[in-house]
Structure 1
Amino acid sequence: MATETVGQDAAVARALAAPTRAAILDHLRAAGPRAVKEVADAVGVHANVARGHLDVLVSAGLASVSWRRNSSGGRPAKVYEATPVHVEDGTVLVSDILASLIEAAAPAPGTAKKIAEQAGERLARRIRPGEEKLAFSEQVEWLQRALAHVSGGVRVAARGDDWVELEDLDCPFKGIAASHPEIACSLDKALKEGIMRALGADTYVEQVTSIAWGDPSCRDVVRLRGKGTT
């Protein structure tokens, strides 16, 4: 089972290493089942290129194939749809963090934060192994893709030149949020900071609202460190 999971993780990492494939997967998640031409038009590539990327996503278990009836009759169209594999990946990641905390035997807050940061760094490097420098807007896009592996989906609520406010209707740490909301929120903030660090950004996260504390959604401001910040 462990070997199988590692193999799947490697296939997912390879599939998402190409920005075009990551963009195609994002489109499928947002738009639902789509034919090759629809995908190609949406991301701005030739249909044959889109078909190749879609086949890689299917092989990695990130997309599936089905057939859609044509309203005007004729042969059904082959369509591709995103699969919810990120839910399993998220469960593995959160379990890894919590297991590490248990092994550390009631760690100090700084230790718990470090463990979550390191988990975020691992996640970011797994889905984006490249080393090229990214603009802040690109780092935010990859942050959203990384968080999709541990949550139901994160949207940008507001943004500026050096900050972005994210809203999440789910909580990656809901297993401990009810009993230990302060720990859940601390881990969530550290996870985001770790992801951004691996993407080349030194940021800090300010909590605005939290599901763990009874709010309808989690809102965090991710801000670049710079002049006037601590």
Structure 2
Amino acid sequence: MPDTLKITNTLADETRYSIYQYIVKEKKQVNVQEIADQFGIHPNVARLHLTKLTDSKLVSSELENNKKGGRPARVYFPAEDPIYLSFPKQEHRLLLQWLLELVYSMEEVAIAKAKEISYQHGRAIIENITFSTQSFESKIELLIETANAIGYIPQITENEGKKNITFSIYNCPYKNQLHKHPELVCSLHESYLKGQFDALFPTNRFVQMESMQDHCNNCVYQIEVL
């Protein structure tokens, strides 16, 4: 059980929270000097922030041998198990596990219905928001906003000359469920995203390029707006 007060105190510092977001988004090992350079702070201050994040189990660390010789250096990376906070305490994870196992046990009919529900929910999230403008840029901003609201940290790039969007998800909020039901979880997740993109861009080609199921660092989708 996480120490709620310790976690909230750790993330209350704006710089420390930004460092935590950076580590999660980059999803790679970082060291004290990289954090110091990235945030324009002294290495000792960076080390203090990283130590507090490690103590709260928000990130993990280990010693790595120095390829140039000398003492091993400590590196930091996202914690394997995500931290969940709720007030009061709620067991959504257990309920999610039960429902996934139920759907999986009922096979094709239940899976198809679950995908339909997740798709419609994704559409509804977008359709219930009043657009200030209909420009391509404003739709992208809305997509980023809705992604952040449910725990994604997306990176969206637009290829020059074409309305091709690369949508990368670095911290899948469902990664703990991938060990038991990876295909089911990913298909529901993809249906939800497809619903959002269809609501924003009625004519599009939606293709998954990379998946965490294939031991990639993140899930990457490419969407061509037709």
Under a length normalisation based on structure 2, what TM-score does the superposition of the two structures give?
Answer: 0.46
Under a length normalisation based on structure 1, what TM-score does the superposition of the two structures give?
Answer: 0.45
